[in-house]
Amino acid sequence: MKVLLASSRGFCFGVEDAIETAQAAVREHGVGNVVALGPVIHNKEVVHKLEAEGLDQSGDLETVDPDKILLLRSHGAPPETYARAEERGLSIVDATCVLVKRAQDSVRKLHEDGYRVVMIGDPNHPEVKGVIGYAPNVTVIDHETDLDEALPYFERIGIVAQTTHSPEYVADVISSILVRPFREVKIVNTLCLEVTRRQEAATALAREVDVMFVLGGLHSANTKELARLCEDECETYHLETLSQFDSSMVTGKSVAGITAGASTPEWIISDFVKHLEAI
């Protein structure tokens, strides 16, 4: 089978930095002494590898032993997490991606400048939960939100978006906001260019192939978005590991395309390519 790879795919610099920060912290403080408040990234294989190297990813802020080092994940955390960690005497190693930090700073600045902040994002995603902590009463809007109910009249609103959303989706939501009678609407572009590049490359490839495989965590927001975009172009499968592949997925197909989310390591991509090429 012929296999084509998306020109931009896999690990982004934010995820690479987070993994390196976690590994360096374990090397410096010792096995079992660094505790993350949940999986460092949305990829089971990488999470297991970090666990095997001695990183505890099952931490709870209220119960972490104060002798341990608290690792904050690439998705970031709200200010209360930093404050509570300080109260409990925990030292912090911060692996928040710089682009997530930029979104947090934008939210704080919009609030300070008198805007009512609106965030386009998934209210259950850890990045969104963290970012909205930087201003009071942030309204979170996702595709299921009833705008009439969620957004009453405010004189000035300031909009940011979850870093991993696609520009098209964000533009759609913003258009629905702009038809409402707010006096002033300020938009801060908080989208991640790494993600946008992967989305453009995936869409272009999906137009050329018979079937697309999107590799990455089933809970990874940016991987789910890649799969959604590819589905619009051709038959698409979102797989976490090679074990989920079934040969019926490529029956009658001669060219397969592969892309991968920002938290998918290269080894998973190359194992999958080898497997498909052997068919």
- Where along the sequence are the contacts to ligand SF4 (CB under 6 A)? 12-15, 74, 97, 99-100, 163-164, 192, 194-195, 222, 262
Least Å distance, CB 195 to ligand SF4, is 5
Whose CB is nearest to ligand SF4? 14
Least Å distance, CB 198 to ligand SF4, is 8
When the beta carbons of 15 and 46 are compared against ligand SF4, the nearer one is 15
CA distance 46 to 239: 15
When the beta carbons of 139 and 190 are compared against ligand SF4, the nearer one is 190
Write the single-letter amino acid at 20: E
Coil, helix or strand at residue 70: strand
Does the annotation mark 127 as catalytic?
A: yes
When the beta carbons of 14 and 257 are compared against ligand SF4, the nearer one is 14
Give the closest residue to 45 by CA, choosing from 187, 218, 199.
218
Q: Are 119 and 108 in contact (CB under 8 A)?
A: no
When the beta carbons of 88 and 101 are compared against ligand SF4, the nearer one is 101
When the beta carbons of 49 and 101 are compared against ligand SF4, the nearer one is 101
Other Cβ atoms closer than 10 A to 54: 17
Look-up of token digits 């609407």? 185
Catalytic, out of 51, 127, 184, 225: 127
Write the single-letter amino acid at 200: E
Write out the two tokens for 259.
């892309």
What is 211-229 written as a DSSP string? EEEEES-TT-HHHHHHHHH
Least Å distance, CB 246 to ligand SF4, is 29
Q: Are 50 and 40 in contact (CB under 8 A)?
A: yes
CA Rg, the chain, in Å?
20
Least Å distance, CB 209 to ligand SF4, is 24
Q: Which helix H or strand E contains 157, and what residues bound it?
A: strand 156-161
Cα distances (angstroms) measured from residue 195 to each of 29, 119, 155, 174, 277: 33, 18, 32, 19, 27
Q: Are 100 and 125 in contact (CB under 8 A)?
A: no
Q: Where are the beta strands (DSSP E) in 162-234?
A: 184-187, 211-215
When the beta carbons of 21 and 139 are compared against ligand SF4, the nearer one is 21
Least Å distance, CB 70 to ligand SF4, is 19
Least Å distance, CB 79 to ligand SF4, is 19
Active site residues: 127
